Amino acid sequence: MPTGGSKMLNPKATIALMICCRLSTFELQAQSMPIQNRVESLIDSWEGRPTARESLLKVGSEPEVLKALGAIAASSRQPFMRRHHAIGVLATFKSDQSVGLLARVAESAEALYRCDAIQALAEIATKSTVPVLVGKLDDHSVCMQFQFSDPASTADVYVSDEAVRALESVTGQTFGQKSSDSHRVTNPWKSWWAKQQRERVE
């Protein structure tokens, strides 16, 4: 029984107070987590690019978020889906920082992720993406395979094939040629790029 001026809290009010305190503690813990961990957690709770981008920009500034995404995309220690999604989200930021981070992945990551980065660069589609894509025209690593049923066969896709496809998307230019082994020819693109460079100097 209460004594003196003390009062007993209503049981419902007590439960609400406990829940509020626990939520506040959870929020404080989340805010104290390093931004890298918070970005990884949000990427793992994947709900699509628009939602991921919106949520990520609530945990840090754009440069901070991009740096964390770039670290995920470039690290061989990260899980496949986390890296794949991080590269996809980088495509939603049409900035020099995002292009630079994707260029790093396109240069040094495993072939599968190099093709992911090339796709992301094609989506960004700014002038700064073109030199990166041209730089992958001699990359004949296999990044994926197509399988056909009639007749049963497989076809390797080179990183350079994806680079040509991306260049077509970004520039609106196409040469429509394939080599004897069915891969996309790269020499016309190299000549095109050399011409662009000459005209820039002149």
Q: Which two three-digit tokens encode residue 145?
A: 């395979």
Is residue 151 situated within a structural domain?
yes
- Number of domains into which the chain is organized: 1
What's the pTM? 0.80
User: Residue 51's CB: how many other CB atoms inside 10 A?
Assistant: 12
**Angstrom distance (rounded) from CA 202 to CA 197:** 9
Is residue 165 situated within a structural domain?
yes
Q: Which two three-digit tokens encode residue 179?
A: 């080599």
Which residue reads 């900035």 in tokens? Answer: 95
Is residue 50 situated within a structural domain?
no
DSSP 151: T
Percent of the chain, pLDDT > 70? 83
Q: Is 146 helix (H, G, I), strand (E, B) or coil?
A: strand
Is residue 56 situated within a structural domain?
no
Is residue 158 situated within a structural domain?
yes
Instruction: Report the number of secondary-structure helices (H) and strands (E) in the chain.
Output: 10, 2
Is residue 171 situated within a structural domain?
yes
Is residue 106 situated within a structural domain?
no
Nearest-10 Cα torsion for 66, 55, 83, 155: -110
Task: Give the pLDDT mean for 102-124.
Answer: 97
Is residue 169 situated within a structural domain?
yes
Which residue reads 């609400």 in tokens? Answer: 16
Q: Residue 164 is part of which domain span?
A: 125-202
**Angstrom distance (rounded) from CA 132 to CA 170:** 12
Instruction: Evaluate if residue 176 carries a pLDDT over 80.
Output: no
Residue 7: the pLDDT is 52
Q: Say which residue, 7 or 23, is predicted with more confidence.
A: 7
Q: Which of 133, 196, 126 is nearest to 162 (CA)?
A: 133
Lowest mean pLDDT among 49-63, 64-78, 85-99, 145-159: 145-159
